[in-house]
Amino acid sequence: MSAPEHQLAMRNDPDEPIGLLIGALRRRIKQAVGSCVRAYGLSVQQFWVLVAISEMPGLSLGELAMHLRMDKPTASRVVFTLMRRKLLDVKGDAADRRRARLYLGSGGARLAKELQQHATAVRSAVTRGLSVAEQDALRKSLRKIIGNMDRFQEQQSRPPGQHANPPVVVAQRSRLRRPLQPG
């Protein structure tokens, strides 16, 4: 079998590892977005943050991180960079003065329409050819895989021999009572 034939056979392999396919998909999406946003001087993460804030103005940093499935320190770094570029503004929450809300800055608002068109095009390309039922099934399966990997990572980060839920040991009261010592 020639190299191209072997590659084609691998692409149709029913036993191809799912993680390998997900990784290849992630790289292709990142490359597609990267080529769209390079002209704006944005990273892929910056692009998705701006799109999220455009679609849902007023998110907190934690809500943004959860929505984008990004850890909070990464979200914070991306937001800080976008704030320095005046693409994002942070405003206090009127109901909770401890919380800050994210909005498009003057520069971000100008970019939002163009970025939204790119986001729509990428999202459409990802789901092209999939029925609504297939999209729903895929979302459900991907969420299950994400949960699997979260649990796996949690287990891997524990010291050897430590359980997630350590067994509860109930101490039994001794039946022998010591005689009171005279004071």
Q: Enter the pTM of the model.
A: 0.77
CATH number at residue 69: 1.10.10.10
Supply the pLDDT for residue 2. 64
Tokens read off for 61: 């940093």
Q: Domain range holding 37?
A: 16-128
Is residue 115 domain-resident?
A: yes
- Give the H/E segment covering residue 71: none
At 6, the pLDDT band (50, 70, 90 cuts) reads low
Is residue 175 domain-resident?
A: no
Average pLDDT over residues 108-118: 91
Is residue 78 domain-resident?
A: yes
How many domains does the chain divide into? 1
Q: Mind listing the pLDDT tens digit for each residue in 43-98?
A: 999 999 999 999 999 999 999 999 999 999 999 999 999 999 999 999 988 887 78
CB 44 within 8 A of CB 33: yes
Tokens read off for 85: 């570029």
CB 104 within 8 A of CB 18: no
Q: Which residue has the tokens 């999220």?
A: 52
Is residue 102 domain-resident?
A: yes
